[in-house]
A and B are shown apart, each in its own frame.
Chain A
Amino acid sequence: DAKTTQPPSMDCAEGRAANLPCNHSTISGNEYVYWYRQIHSQGPQYIIHGLKNNETNEMASLIITEDRKSSTLILPHATLRDTAVYYCIVRPLGTSGSRLTFGEGTQLTVNP
């Protein structure tokens, strides 16, 4: 899987948008960008994934640059419960059965 680079930590004010960047400059054409998060003492939680188009669901939006070398996860109105470690992963299509590997991720702290 392609390597990803994320800032180790970020802060965000409650109610504001949290924009979490991820660099994946070696991404291949058949690799998706996935985001998970892990709230302290809980299991990882799937957030969103995309291939090349921007994606939005009830949790977040994913903006992927045209060259696909970087992406941004957007939490539009961050709450205190969004405080977690956020992991950006790239994985090839058809990887059912392949193990997930998380890097260091970004510790997002949402402040009141």
Chain B
Amino acid sequence: GAGVSQSPSNKVTEKGKDVELRCDPISGHTALYWYRQSLGQGLEFLIYFQGNSAPDKSGLPSDRFSAERTGGSVSTLTIQRTQQEDSAVYLCASSLRETQYFGPGTRLLVL
């Protein structure tokens, strides 16, 4: 079956611009996670959605970052007024129970 998909695969933007990253989870998965991974670094948790519950936003690094999940499926991560330190691979994962399945990521470069 189809896995987690993310778009765009690559995004280059100028400092100060807003960007939107999209995640399509595996159909039927109730949980959705956003992580980011800087070059050579480990996973950094950003936000978690579970069904209709309030999201766990505890990993968002600043109020420039926000995410929503519409209809319990597709999610959008928005970064406002991007900074160079936002450059990273943004990874989305979904799960039905404990096992998380990752998408290919969006590589964001802020110039």
A97 x B43 contact (CB < 8 A): no
Interface residue tally on B, bucketed by range: 20 to 34
B43 x A100 contact (CB < 8 A): yes
- Would you list which residues of chain A between 48 and 82 have a CB under 8 Å from chain B? 49
Count contacts on A: residues with CB < 8 A to the other chain.
Answer: 20
A102-B42 Cα distance, complex, nearest whole Å: 6
A102-B99 Cα distance, complex, nearest whole Å: 14
CB distance from B56 to the nearest CB of A (A): 7
Max chain A Cβ within 10 angstroms of own Cβ: one of B31, B97, B99? B99
Kindly list chain A residues whose C-beta atoms are within 8 Å of the C-beta of B89: 43
A46 x B31 contact (CB < 8 A): no
Interface of chain A: mostly helix, strand, loop or mixed: loop
Nearest residue in A to B103 (C-beta to C-beta)?
A43
Kindly list chain B residues whose C-beta atoms are within 8 Å of the C-beta of A46: 99-102
Nearest residue in A to B105 (C-beta to C-beta)?
A43
A91-B99 Cα distance, complex, nearest whole Å: 10
B104 x A95 contact (CB < 8 A): no
Q: Which residue of the partner chain, among B35, B97, B98, B105, contacts A42 with CB atoms under 8 Å?
A: B105
1/0 contact string of B1-14 vs chain A (CB within 8 Å): 00010000000000
Chain B residues within CB distance 8 Å of chain A: 4, 31, 33, 35, 42-43, 45, 48, 50, 56, 59, 89, 91, 93, 95, 97-105, 107
